[in-house]
Amino acid sequence: MAFQPSERSRALETRVREFIAGSLLPVEAELLARNHRVNGHGDWRRWQLLPELQALKAQAKAEGLWNLFLPDPKLGAGLSTLEYAPLAEAMGHSLLAPELFNCNAPDTGNMEVLYHFGNAEQQARWLTPLLSGELRSVFCMTEPEVASSDATNMAATIERDGDQLVLNGHKWWSTGLGHPDAGIAIFMGLCDPQAEKHRRHAMVLVPLDTPGVTVERMLTACGDYDAPYGHGQLRFDNVRVPAANLIKGWGEGFAIAQGRLGPGRIHHCMRCLGAAERALDLMIERGLGREAFGRPLLKLGGNLERVAEARIAIDQARLLTLQAAWKIDTQGVRAAMTDIAAIKVAAPRVLQQVVEMAIQIHGGAGLCQDHPLMGFYAQARALRLADGPDEVHLASVARLELKKRRRA
Amino acid sequence: MAFQPSERSRALETRVREFIAGSLLPVEAELLARNHRVNGHGDWRRWQLLPELQALKAQAKAEGLWNLFLPDPKLGAGLSTLEYAPLAEAMGHSLLAPELFNCNAPDTGNMEVLYHFGNAEQQARWLTPLLSGELRSVFCMTEPEVASSDATNMAATIERDGDQLVLNGHKWWSTGLGHPDAGIAIFMGLCDPQAEKHRRHAMVLVPLDTPGVTVERMLTACGDYDAPYGHGQLRFDNVRVPAANLIKGWGEGFAIAQGRLGPGRIHHCMRCLGAAERALDLMIERGLGREAFGRPLLKLGGNLERVAEARIAIDQARLLTLQAAWKIDTQGVRAAMTDIAAIKVAAPRVLQQVVEMAIQIHGGAGLCQDHPLMGFYAQARALRLADGPDEVHLASVARLELKKRRRA
Amino acid sequence: MAFQPSERSRALETRVREFIAGSLLPVEAELLARNHRVNGHGDWRRWQLLPELQALKAQAKAEGLWNLFLPDPKLGAGLSTLEYAPLAEAMGHSLLAPELFNCNAPDTGNMEVLYHFGNAEQQARWLTPLLSGELRSVFCMTEPEVASSDATNMAATIERDGDQLVLNGHKWWSTGLGHPDAGIAIFMGLCDPQAEKHRRHAMVLVPLDTPGVTVERMLTACGDYDAPYGHGQLRFDNVRVPAANLIKGWGEGFAIAQGRLGPGRIHHCMRCLGAAERALDLMIERGLGREAFGRPLLKLGGNLERVAEARIAIDQARLLTLQAAWKIDTQGVRAAMTDIAAIKVAAPRVLQQVVEMAIQIHGGAGLCQDHPLMGFYAQARALRLADGPDEVHLASVARLELKKRRRA
Amino acid sequence: MAFQPSERSRALETRVREFIAGSLLPVEAELLARNHRVNGHGDWRRWQLLPELQALKAQAKAEGLWNLFLPDPKLGAGLSTLEYAPLAEAMGHSLLAPELFNCNAPDTGNMEVLYHFGNAEQQARWLTPLLSGELRSVFCMTEPEVASSDATNMAATIERDGDQLVLNGHKWWSTGLGHPDAGIAIFMGLCDPQAEKHRRHAMVLVPLDTPGVTVERMLTACGDYDAPYGHGQLRFDNVRVPAANLIKGWGEGFAIAQGRLGPGRIHHCMRCLGAAERALDLMIERGLGREAFGRPLLKLGGNLERVAEARIAIDQARLLTLQAAWKIDTQGVRAAMTDIAAIKVAAPRVLQQVVEMAIQIHGGAGLCQDHPLMGFYAQARALRLADGPDEVHLASVARLELKKRRRA
């Protein structure tokens, strides 16, 4: 057992941290404010990319800080899940950071799907521009009419009609749909309702300009549209795509989702912990910089204990997440199921807890657009639901715990 | 000791509940959505009032459900703080409700200030149109540059210059500033910095069109502008008003604030508990109406225990708030200090806790504009800071607890 | 609605408080220590009553502070449940106090059963000596072999054989069984297993010297035997008593238990809150009286916030309990079901929370026999299980909540 | 970074686990009950060792499962702190286990002191018999009259008088003092009150039969004497020992304490986590084995979520503790200060949390002598105070957090 990161992981993490600290954080407040002014409305067709962020993205790409999540050493950085984890944490320091390195959800997950399960043609057409950063993608899974935490509730359908696939369904929380470069969706639907539970679904690639695809609206998440990304609600009405757009195979949807699952969870959780570290930074900075009743805020009441509780909670959740990454790398996603469910509960909860503390220290400032705190809150809050609510993951952990004992 | 409400309190509460349940809730979702479409942007000068809400307001006024908060039986309903409390709770069921009855913050508090401390001329000019619902008001206390939880940090100034008062300062979180009818501010500032700590401040009435008053921007609270009310940031640069605009007297700012304090806290806390009841309603409705893994969501895992925890927490916080109201009415604000501080901690916390549970049951829907839950979250979150963060009130409760024992 | 207690309640509460503060607390530490020396072993047959406590008991009786719980004005104080509640809280300040006033569990509950449901002969034989304080009683309900939280699991049996009843069963947690004066048990068992669920059980009076009654051992509760009361485990093997020992009627066991339920819960919960107040007293006293790092312990870290949290939690739980008492008195136990379940969760939880804080302030002293804190912990801990675990009561509250909405 | 244990750690852990599971657990209940019968009283001079435990101890020694904590490969197992940690966890499964392997506190810490800081003569006289298991030792640090969480409060004194040292002081919580084989104490006292804060104290070896050493009594911890170990209170009145009994040097007490600190914390915390795993085992076993309301207890309400919460909490605290051990081994205690303080808060808290859940599932059985749960509770509860209360460690974590940022 050893807790030091690999050399290449540490080296890349340092470069990512320096890039963020040196080039992004000094202008973050200004960029967030400008984005709020320019894109702070629900009319997603008018959302724009900030040129400053485009420039930073180009700079990161030029420096080779690009596609760091991809385990392939040719297309990406060739890091293991465990090695990439600290980089994801570093990117979590700012909500603006992941995209700069082409490492933002859901594109990372979608690229992984194409990388692992896409055929050469699919990769050439969609993976390549996603890797270059020209194209952006969405993932269409959750549905407004059913409790999507239970995948068997899914109502969207995929039918074969000759060499075409016909898609119908109503999807929402398709993050990134509002982005000006969004062009491709991965659509999950029922293809074989009579099959065994894990063989019923398929995933299909759907260009967003395909007839029958209608963007109904963008959803606010905790009051915010997350422009220019957005969380979209869209309808698929008899949408026809070539059968060649099927990923991996008929009935393979669940298997793909499982494969997509593990590393994505690690990324999400590590970003949460990076955000929690940032919130703790902000809390300490504010708490030392303002005074009330003759003392810095941080030295009043139980505030220093809150700093300690944050440190203890973050460090524990990080180690659990890193161990999950290590299990994925060394024993496979299946062996890591308890850990993958556990971190999904633990990491967003820690972020929410730390952000709550940080907001209290900031007073009204913590609630408003001047600080990234409410954005971090929304990140935690949304992640406690995205990809299954806490309660579903707690049920998984318990089920596996009982199963483990039955085997023993 | 007896726990049943007075007859007139119960009768009015029933009428308020029926009005809200019968006339507002059936159209609430539609009105919230329309408001989001029309006013969901930061350009507050374009914010509009929804005609449907104006109509409901006129209807409530016509039915005599108007100014119910005011203890004066001629101008209002003549209810004691304790008798009004259940009405405030009922109004808490919808964020749109309080204004319908002309019972919304900060106008209620401002009207109370004018009623208790304003002279006849001030009352004629501002209280009368506030009571009729034509005018709306703001309260300017908190400042962005200092920790406003410690009132002695306040930097805004009020100076006499002949028969004029000259105001300077930077204020924010002036709720309601964006409202099309907002016309008058109560401005709190330092008037006598050398005086005893509680005699340093004054309150002055400032028409918002006075030269030198500049609205800088509206703040988002938890991602939302709360249009068409808004939370404003504004600057007072050598703003001159007649000395007759001084309320009560030189150095009386703190005393007025204290008087404004008690009933306002009761209103805020009871509205929180009404919102918590509504969130619990929504949670149960959704939890019974959707299924996953073969059972209604509410019957999965610990969800029913969460319902029970919500019930226990709400009922306790309500009783504490009612007891605080009773103490204010029977023994005065001073005797109720522990209770007034305690409910400020307890009630928003309960709302936040219940909303969090309700969001988890709602899944993604709970995060977005389709449900009032995020609005309730923002209400709780903001109230945990407004008028002093939890931590300041905990410190007050502890200080009074120690003092009580020293006296014993 | 009004929150002041009745005059006679307040007057008696004051006398009880003064008695405890004046006569018991000054010698409490010494008496607890002596009891520990004399009775601190599991050999219950050697347990003795401390003469000092007997003397205090005689003094309380002489002063008329006796049987205060009994609503009958001739036999007791004639107080309503609500009026007695503050007296129960006052008695909660010391674990030694309730017995001094002949107001200790389970005797109070057993006396209530005999008072409400016993016939004249039963009352003459057992209620009279219980009221005079000569006799003590136990209640035999819980069984070691089954999950007793579900009363339908009960395995003990009551059979008729001519004019005799034959009892068989294994019972434990019969509190008070070790007391030198313990002489009578109320035994609950299945009498009619085929009857409707709530008509299956009966309660029977069993003198403890009846052949076939075997005391197997005393149980420790949180490490302590609670000598000289004790929590007994006992076996009933073909125990024969006259049919006249049946209380109320065949199949009436559940109905009696329900009747016994309400006031007993109020007593238990109010005693918890009295204990919590005492723990808070001790916490503040110790926290102000000792220094570390140059400041009184209470002023370090978040300790003052803990004082405030204790105050807020206690006050809320008290109001909920008083409201439950008021509902029992004015609307009956049935209408108070949610409240009776809710306080069973809330009050012991508050005591446990406050004791935990107080222990932390006391350091090692808080863990040992020198302070009543671990006794209060055990009180809370045991009460979270006695008469059903928290989880069962949460389930009741939730069930009633859903039912209420179905009715609406 | 890698999370698998070393081969020799894993091999020894397996043997320890098999020993406990095979030889101890099957008789644990019987041994605990017998110990309770034989030693369940405060008359510590009559406490006896159970022959069955002595036999198991001899068996463990014969199998080489002995002194596993000692990093010296000749005297112990030669394991690093990190390698020993999983063994300590395994021993935590039963309160009876650590002594079987001669790995119980406070002897392990005392042996480490003698090993690292004792001279040859001291080692020959005391370390050798401690290692062989013939002798047992105590540590005398905490004092009843002062807040010992602040070491500068310590009042006990060490004075030189020629070639003798004269000791005076009042100590308590000297664990193990009641053990029949207890023979030696390490006494910490003020030797140079004017010196720099960390150079004021010394540690001295004091045979317990030295004139002037008076054992006043044993303390109960959570109601239990922990016989035959006991927590002693003792007085040192002009106790004279040869100057050669000074450990390391004059003024070195603090430095020794620091050295003793790190590994001891790891042991304590890992044992806590082992106890938490056992409590979880018991909770699941009981929860599946008993039914109420037609279902196994574990499937009622939120109980399965509690299982999951326990798993998540234990796994996180374990990783934090292992990381602390790794830092101690690779970077030294000083570099591990945050982690060592953090685990002192996290691990006992997790144990307390899991035990609380397990008790609720066990009902009354969980409170009494039949189950090890209350013993685990006492372990957690005491450890939250021993060696500094949680609050002191939270303050340390916060102080280091702020310091880290000042350096950055």
Q: Could you report the per-residue pLDDT of D47-88, keeping only the tens digit for each?
A: 999 999 999 999 999 999 999 999 999 999 999 999 999 999
Q: What is the mean pLDDT of residues B51-68?
A: 98
* Alpha-carbon span A281 to D402, nearest angstrom: 10
Q: Do A312 and D5 touch (CB under 8 A)?
A: no
Nearest to D360 among C220, C223, C389 (CB): C389
Question: Among C167, C386, B197, B124, which Cα is nearest to D367's?
Answer: C386
Of the candidates A42, A223, A360, the beta carbon closest to that of B389 is on A360
Å between B114 CA and nearest CA of chain A: 26
Residue A305: list chain D partners with CB under 8 A. Answer: 391, 394-395, 398
Residues of chain C with pLDDT under 70: 408
Minimal CA separation from D351 to chain B, in Å:
21
CA distance B191 to chain C (A): 33
ipTM: 0.96
What distance in Å separates the CA atoms of residue C60 and residue C77, rounded to the nearest whole number? 13
Q: What is the pLDDT of residues A202-248, one digit of tens each?
A: 999 999 999 999 999 999 999 999 999 999 999 999 999 999 999 99
Tell me what pLDDT residue A152 has: 84
What pLDDT, on the 0 to 100 scale, is given for residue D398? 98
- Contact list in D for residue A317 (CB cut-off 8 A) is 316
DSSP string, A121-180: HHIIIIIHHHHHTS-EEEEE---TTS-TTSGGG---EEEEETTEEEEEEEEEEEETTTST
Nearest CB neighbour to B222, from listed A222, A302, A360: A222
User: Searching chain B, which residue's CA lies closest to the CA of residue A386?
Assistant: B364
Smallest CA–CA distance, residue D118 to chain A, in Å, is 31
* Residue corresponding to tokens 């999400």: A268
Torsion over CA: D149, D155, D160, D164 (sign): negative
Is the Cβ pair D360, C144 closer than 8 Å?
no
- CB-based contact B346 C3, cutoff 8 Å: no
**Contact residues for D343 (Cβ-Cβ < 8 A; gap 6+):** D265, D266, D269, D317, D320, D321, D324
A73: tokens are: 């050493």
Taking CB atoms and an 8 Å limit, are B3 and C339 in contact across chains?
A: no
The Cα–Cα gap between C163 and C245 comes to 10
Residue of D nearest to C219 (CA): D368
The pLDDT of residue D406: 84
Nearest of A376, A372, A297 to residue A32 by alpha carbon? A372
Q: Which residues of B are less than 8 Å from D306 in CB distance?
A: 302
B402 burial (CB, 10 Å; 0-12 / 13-18 / 19+) is: middle
pTM of structure: 0.97
What pLDDT is stored for residue A149 in this prediction?
A: 85
Stretches where chain D sits below pLDDT 70 are: 408
| Closest residue by Cα to residue C175 from C148, C137, C127, C222 | C137
Statement: residue A41 has pLDDT above 90: no
User: Chain A closest CA to B377's CA: distance in Å?
Assistant: 9
In Å, how far is D361's CA from the nearest CA of chain B? Answer: 15
- pLDDT, one tens digit per residue, over A55-88 is 999 999 999 999 999 999 999 999 999 999 999 9
DSSP state of A98: H
Q: How confident is the model at residue B152 (pLDDT cuts 50, 70, 90)?
A: confident
- Indicate the Cα dihedral angle D227, D231, D235, D240, nearest 10°: 80
Q: Do A384 and B360 touch (CB under 8 A)?
A: yes
Q: Which of D37, D363, D391 shows the shortest C-beta gap to C389?
A: D363
Interface test with A, best of C297, C305, C307, C357 (most A CBs within 10 A): C305
Q: Which domains are assigned to chain D?
A: 7-132 (1.10.540.10), 136-252 (2.40.110.10), 254-407 (1.20.140.10)
The pLDDT of residue C408:
65
Contact across the interface for B41 and A40, Cβ inside 8 Å: yes
Q: Quote the mean pLDDT of chain B.
A: 96
d(CA C225, CA B191): 67
What pLDDT does residue B42 have? Answer: 83
Per CB distance under 8 Å, which residues of C are interface residues toward A?
Answer: 301-302, 304-305
Q: Residue C28, Cβ neighbours under 10 Å: how many? A: 17
CA dist., res. D296 & res. D319, Å (int):
32
Structural contact between residues D312 and D331, judged by C-beta atoms closer than 8 angstroms: no
- Assess whether pLDDT exceeds 70 at residue A408: no
**For residue A298, what is the nearest residue in chain C, using CA coordinates?**
C301
Q: Which residue has the higher pLDDT, B11 or C41?
A: B11
Cβ-Cβ contacts under 8 Å, C327 against chain B: 3
| Nearest to B16, CA basis, from B93, B112, B78 | B93
Which residues of chain A neighbour B149 with C-beta distances below 8 Å? 292, 363
Contact between B275 and B358 under an 8 Å Cβ cutoff? The reply is no
Residues pairing with D140 in the sheet: D187
Q: What is the pLDDT of residue A277?
A: 98
**Other C-beta atoms lying within 10 Å of the C-beta of residue D185:** 28
* Residues in chain B within 8 Å Cβ distance of C82: 1
Q: What gap in Å lies between CA B145 and CA B299, rounded to an integer?
A: 49
Contact call for B82 and C312, based on CB within 8 A: no
Q: Per-residue DSSP letters for D170-209?
A: EEEEEETTTSTTEEEEEEEEES-TTS-GGGSEEEEEEETT
Which two structure tokens, joined as six digits, stand for D27? 């008789």
* Cβ contacts of B150 on chain A, cutoff 8 Å: 291-293
The residue ranges of DSSP E strands in D295-336, in sequence order, are: 295-296
Tokens, residue A2 = 């050893």
CA–chain centroid gap for C8, Å, is 24
Q: What is the pLDDT of residue C367?
A: 96
Average pLDDT, stretch A305-326? 98
Angstroms from B261 CA to nearest CA on chain D: 35
- Residue among D169, D180, D168, D178 at smallest CA distance from D217: D178
Tokens (6 digits) for D281: 């085992």
